[in-house]
Amino acid sequence: MINFTLNPPANIGIIGGGQLGKMLSIKAKSLGYTVTILDPNPFAPAMSVADHKIIANFSDVESIKKLANLCEVITYEFEHIDADILIDLENTGHIVIPSGKTLKLIQDKYEQKSFLKSINITVPEFYKVTNKEDLINCSKKLGFPFILKSSKGGYDGKGNCVIKSPTDLDWGFEQLNSTNLLAEKYINYSKELSILIAIGKNKECNHYPVVENIHEDSILRLTKAPAKISPSIENKIHEISMKIVESLDDIGLFCIEFFLTANGEVYINEIAPRPHNSGHYTLEACETSQFEQLLRIVTGLPLGSTDLIYPAAMVNVLGNEYVNGAYQYAGLSKILKDDKIYVHLYGKKNTHYLKKLGHITVCDSSLSLAVEKSLNALKNLEIKSND
């Protein structure tokens, strides 16, 4: 393992200028680091809080090399980068966290599940699908309904289909339009859970509390921290998470999503090698936010405490059906009348239906009250057209 410490004003390169990159940049800037963002969109949220900007596609090898040459370390805020470019950078002496090898493994869902299976982690039954014949064959093994996914590139439900009956097979295959697919058993879960786990340069490992996530239309709507689960389920999730990050043999901040069934079975859904929407609550509810934690990891600083200070509820602020393009908010005054309500708006130039525009976290000694307050706050936040 590389032993390094980067003190300010070291330059940190972030591939991706979305809200995760923005919140990471803000923490880095507070600590006196320099930040360089690479993103094709010059108006991406992180651009306005960065020292240097590289406007380039994520597949632009020369621009990513330029970023590496400017920065002392590189990290990324999303998975859809050509991992081979990062591996090449590491081979020429650059530091990439998490490593290109880890990204390559995680970004292909079939490879990710195969890896998990190989280390004896319970994943839903899954098969590779490269053509319609594969699809028909595995539908016989999995039964209906089952999930068909693009192995690469999906997020927020994009690249996923539920195949409910044999008549959906052709439709699903055409929808996803790929020869790199994954068919997966449908898990009839009672809860969706996730955990953030941080592993630093000395292989010290801190996990955050297990949280419960509520999705609608495959988009995260609400995170409840902590999840109401039994100590034995919690322990199982800790054990699985530790085993995974140990097996990855890397450093970084990882989010692991789980399905919990009514009879207490735990299946892994996905791993993300970066800060995660379900970890936004850590900004106010934990001693060290997921963004500060990743900053500490990529600069070789000691990990911070992951203790939960208050129970918290986080709701996403999503674009509505009625406004497309430029927009403004209203209603903040009503929301901010109460204490311990934290509004984060990402400053995206345009909205569309279900686009992630921000989030609101509410801390309260009672989790159910926090949930209620967060949903109320969300109702009070209006998104209006600029026209």
Q: Determine contact, residues 14/86, Cβ cutoff 8 Å.
A: no
- Residue 205 within binding range of a second copy, rule CB under 8 A: no
Q: How far is C-alpha 27 from the chain's CA centre?
A: 18
Residues forming a β-bridge with 341: 362
The answer to whether 197 is annotated as binding is no
Q: Give the SS3 label for residue 185.
A: strand
- Residue 332 within binding range of a second copy, rule CB under 8 A: yes
- Residue 328 within binding range of a second copy, rule CB under 8 A: yes
In the list 301, 350, 352, 380, the residue contacting a second copy (rule: CB under 8 A) is 301
Give 81 or 315: the residue with its C-beta nearer to a second copy.
315
Query: Which of the ranges 23-31, 56-64, 212-220, 228-236 carries the binding residues for a second copy, by CB under 8 A?
Result: 23-31
- Residue 343 within binding range of a second copy, rule CB under 8 A: yes
Size of the site for a second copy (CB under 8 A): 44
The answer to whether 149 is annotated as binding is yes
Report the sign of the C-alpha dihedral through residues 119, 124, 129, 135, in that order. positive
In the list 8, 143, 166, 325, the residue contacting a second copy (rule: CB under 8 A) is 8
In the list 329, 350, 354, 376, the residue contacting a second copy (rule: CB under 8 A) is 329
- Residue 333 within binding range of a second copy, rule CB under 8 A: yes
CA distance 172 to 328: 37
Strands, E, within the chain: which ranges?
11-15, 34-39, 52-55, 73-76, 126-129, 146-150, 160-163, 181-185, 189-199, 205-207, 211-216, 219-225, 252-261, 266-272, 312-318, 327-330, 341-345, 356-363, 382-385
- Residue 51 within binding range of a second copy, rule CB under 8 A: yes
| Of 338, 340, 343, the residue nearest 364 (C-alpha) | 340
Minimum CB separation from a second copy for residue 273, in Å? 23
Our CA angle for 304, 220, 275, nearest 5°, is: 25
The answer to whether 192 is annotated as binding is yes
CA distance 116 to 184: 14
CA distance 241 to 116: 11
- Residue 375 within binding range of a second copy, rule CB under 8 A: no
- Residue 325 within binding range of a second copy, rule CB under 8 A: no
The count of other CB atoms within 10 Å of the CB of residue 317 is 21
The pair of structure tokens assigned to 376 is: 């109320």
239 sits in which H/E element: helix 231-248
Minimum CB separation from a second copy for residue 255, in Å? 21
Minimum CB separation from a second copy for residue 215, in Å? 24
DSSP characters for 28-93?
HHHTT-EEEEEES-TT-GGGGG-SEEEE--TT-HHHHHHHHHH-SEEEESSS-S-HHHHHHHHHTT
Give 142 or 253: the residue with its C-beta nearer to a second copy.
253
The answer to whether 322 is annotated as binding is no
Per-residue exposure over 192-217, b if at least 16 CB sit within 10 Å of its own CB, e if not: bbbbbbbbbbeeeebbbbbbbbeeee
- Residue 300 within binding range of a second copy, rule CB under 8 A: yes
Q: Give the SS3 label for residue 387.
A: coil
In the list 62, 133, 321, 339, the residue contacting a second copy (rule: CB under 8 A) is 339
CA distance 172 to 144: 13
In the list 1, 2, 32, 353, the residue contacting a second copy (rule: CB under 8 A) is 32
The answer to whether 185 is annotated as binding is yes
- Residue 347 within binding range of a second copy, rule CB under 8 A: yes
- Residue 26 within binding range of a second copy, rule CB under 8 A: yes
The answer to whether 140 is annotated as binding is no
- Residue 29 within binding range of a second copy, rule CB under 8 A: yes
- Residue 356 within binding range of a second copy, rule CB under 8 A: no
- Residue 157 within binding range of a second copy, rule CB under 8 A: no
Minimum CB separation from a second copy for residue 311, in Å? 16
Query: Which of the ranges 120-128, 257-265, 294-302, 372-380 carries the binding residues for a second copy, by CB under 8 A?
Result: 294-302
Minimum CB separation from a second copy for residue 79, in Å? 25
Longest dimension (CA), the chain: 59
Give the footprint of a second copy on this chain (CB under 8 A): 5, 7-10, 22-23, 26, 29-35, 48-51, 287, 296, 299-302, 304-305, 307, 328-333, 336-337, 339-340, 343-347, 358
